[in-house]
Chains A and B, each alone.
Chain A
Amino acid sequence: MSGPILQLRDVSLSFRGIKALNALSFEVACGEICALIGPNGAGKSSLLNIINGVYRADSGSVTFNGEQFIRIRPAHAAHLGVGRTFQHNALFRHLSVLDNVLAGLIRHSRTTLVEHAFGIGRDRRETREFNRWADEIIGFLDLTGHRDTVVGTLPYGVQKRVDLARALVGRPSLLLLDEPMAGMNQDEKSEMSRLILGTNARLGTTIVLIEHDMSVVMGLSHHVVVLDYGRKVGDGSPEQVRKNPDVIAAYLGTAH
C-alpha cells in the first residue's frame, strides 16, 4: 500500500440548500479497501456520485491518480479507471450475464460501426479478446453456470455479482461499491465478502465501499471513514474507529 490513489479536499454538496456533504476531506491509499459508513442520509452515496461524476460538488476538489478535478463526466471517470456498482440494481436486464459483462468493455473498444456491420477489420479479433476477458471475470466471480442466462431472471444475490463483474471486467484501478451486500442473506454476504477480498488481493484493485453491516465492514476493510450528516466524524483503521467516542455517539452507539 503506497501513496493515495484518491484524495478529497473540502468537498461540499447541497441539494436545494440542504447540506449533503460539508467540507469533507479524506484520502484512500492505493491498494486498500476503504469502507464508508454512517446512518442513512449521511451522504455516502452522494460522495460516490461525486467521485465518478454523476454529481458535481459545489466546492472542493477530487484528485484521482494525480489528476485533480471538480467536475468530471461519468464516462470520463470510467475511462480514467473508476469502476462502479449500484445500490439499486442497474443491470441491463434483458441481456445475458455475458452481454452485461461485455458491456463493461465497450469503453475499451477500438472498432467502428462499419467493422461491426460487416465483421471486417479488427472486429473479429476484438470480439474474441473481449469474450476471453469477460469469461475470465465470469469464472473469477463464480458466474460460469449463469453465463448465458438473461440477468432479469436471476436471483438478487447473483445479480449483485453480475454488477460487480461488469464493473471489474474493464480492470478499474478504483472500484466504488454502493452497498454490495444490501438485501443479502448471511451466506450471500460472506460469499460476496470473499469475492471482494479476492478482487482486492488478486487484481490489486483499490476499493471504496458503502456498507451497513458492521461485522462485514470490520472484517473486510483496512480503513474506515465515518460520515454523519455530511461531516466526517471518524477516519482510521477499523479498531481506531470502533474506539472513537464521536463515532460511538453518532452512529455505533445508537440502536440499529
Chain B
Amino acid sequence: MSAIGTETIEGFGPSGVTAQSTRDRLRAGSVGVLLAALASIPLVANDYWLNAVLIPFLIMSLTALGLNLLMGYAGQASLGSGGFMSVGAYATYNLLLRLPELPLPVSLLLGGIISGLVGVVAGLPSLRIKGFYLVASTLATQFLLEWLFNQYGWFSNYSTSSSISAPRLAFLGHDLSSPAGRYLLTLATVVVVTAVAARLVRSQTGRTWMAIRDMDTAASVIGIPVSAGKLKAFFVSSLVIGIAGALWAFAYLGTVDARSFNLDRSFQIMFAIIIGGMGSIRGNFLGAAFMIFLPIQLDHLGSGVFGGAVDPGQLENFQKALFGALIVWFLIKEPRGLAALLSRAWTQLVSRINR
C-alpha cells in the first residue's frame, strides 16, 4: 500500500494522519540506522564474533522467521524445520556444483524454492489433520528427509565422509569466503527476506493465514480458500527455512552435514519462535538472540564461576537444565513472547515520558 493511500484511508482527522506518518518515518529511520550499524559491524568485530555469534544469530533469525510464518501466522505447527533446512542446503549445494554458471543469489533462491515445494508435499496432511497429529506428520517428514540424505549418495556427490565441503562462495567477482564476506552475504539475505515477509503478512495472504489460524471453519464459510492458504504457508515457510539452511551450511559451518539439521534443530527453531513471539516479525530476532546468546553467556558464566572445578559435561547438562527452566519461566511470565514483553515495556516508557 502506498504511503498516500495509507494516509487518506487510515487518517480520520488531521491528528491521526500526522501521528501515523511520524511513526512511519520514525520506524523507517530507526530501521535505516540499525541496518547501517549492522553492515558496519565487520569493521569493528573480530572473526570470533562474526563466525560464532553474529552469523548463526542471523541465520537462526531467518529460520525462526520461516517457521513463524507457518506456525505463528497460519497456525500450522511443524517439527520439520531441520529437514527443510537440509533440503535447502543440499539443493543449493547441488546447484552450485552442477550449475556453477548460476549467480549465487539465484542458486540460493532456487534452493529455497525446491525446499518450498518439498514443504508443500509435507504440508498436504494439514488439509485433513491439525494440532498434535500434524506435528506428528511433520516429525515423520523430518526423519524421512534425514534418512534420504544419508541414504542416497547423489545428494552429497558421493562423498565418502558424511559431511561435504561447501563450494567457494563468490558473487560478482567478489570472494565471500572471508568471515566478513559471509556475514555480509547472510545479512543481505536476511534483510531482503525479512522485508518481503513483513510485506506478505500484512497483505491479503497474511490475512488469509491469520484467519485460518484463528478460526478455520468460519474462514471456509466466508469463502477464504483454506486449503490453498495452508499450502501457501508451507511453501513460503519452507522456502525461507531452505534458504536459511543453505546459509547455515555455506556461510556458517562451511560444510553440508545432515547431522546439523536433525530434530534438535527443529526444536531449537520452535523454541526460538515461542520465546520470541508467535505472529511477530520482530520476535524472530529476539527469540534467535535468546537461543544463541544465552547459552554462550551461560557458558562464560559457568566456566567463570566454577573455573574447571566441575566436570565440563556436568556443567553442560546444568546449562541445558537452566536453559529449559528459563524457557518455562518465560512462557508462564509472557506466553506471547519477548516481542510482547518489549512492546509493553515500550508503551510504558512512552506514557511515562509523555506524563
Contacts and interface: CB of A to CB of B under 8 A. Distances in A.
Nearest to A73: B220
Contacts of B204: 102, 106, 109, 111, 116, 123, 126-127, 130
Interface residues of B, number: 32
Contacts of A111: 204
Given A95-B210, A99-B210, A113 B221 contact: no
Given A116-B203, A124-B5, A106 B221 contact: no
A123 B222 CA distance: 21
A1 B142 CA distance: 60
Interface of A, secondary structure class, is helix
Interface in B118-134: none
Given A94-B279, A113-B236, A135-B9, A103 B199 contact: no
A104 interface: yes
A223 interface: no
Interface of A: 52, 54, 74-75, 78-79, 83-84, 86, 90-95, 99, 102-104, 106-107, 109, 111, 113, 116-119, 123-124, 126-128, 130-132, 135, 144, 166-167, 170
Question: Closest 10 CB pairs between A and B?
Answer: A78-B223, A107-B223, A116-B203, A90-B218, A92-B214, A116-B205, A74-B221, A103-B211, A131-B9, A117-B200
Contacts of B224: 75, 103, 106-107
Contacts of A167: 222
B334 to A, nearest CB: 16
A116 B210 contact: no
B200 A102 contact: no
Contacts of A123: 203-204
Contacts of A124: 1-2, 5
B69 to A, nearest CB: 11
A117 B196 contact: yes
B30 interface: no
Most A CB within 10 A of own CB, among B1, B196, B221:
B221
B328 to A, nearest CB: 24
A127 B207 contact: no
B40 interface: no
A107 B203 contact: no
B219 A78 contact: no
A222 B23 CA distance: 51
Contact of A127 (B1, B196, B208): B1
B225 interface: yes
A99 B226 CA distance: 17
Nearest to A126: B204
Contacts of B230: none
25 contacts: A74-B221, A79-B223, A84-B221, A90-B217, A92-B215, A94-B213, A99-B210, A102-B207, A103-B219, A103-B224, A104-B222, A106-B211, A106-B224, A107-B223, A107-B225, A111-B204, A113-B232, A116-B200, A116-B204, A118-B196, A124-B1, A124-B5, A128-B1, A128-B5, A131-B9
Given A75-B225, A90-B218, 7 more contacts: A94-B210, A106-B211, A113-B200, A119-B203, A127-B204, A131-B5, A170-B223
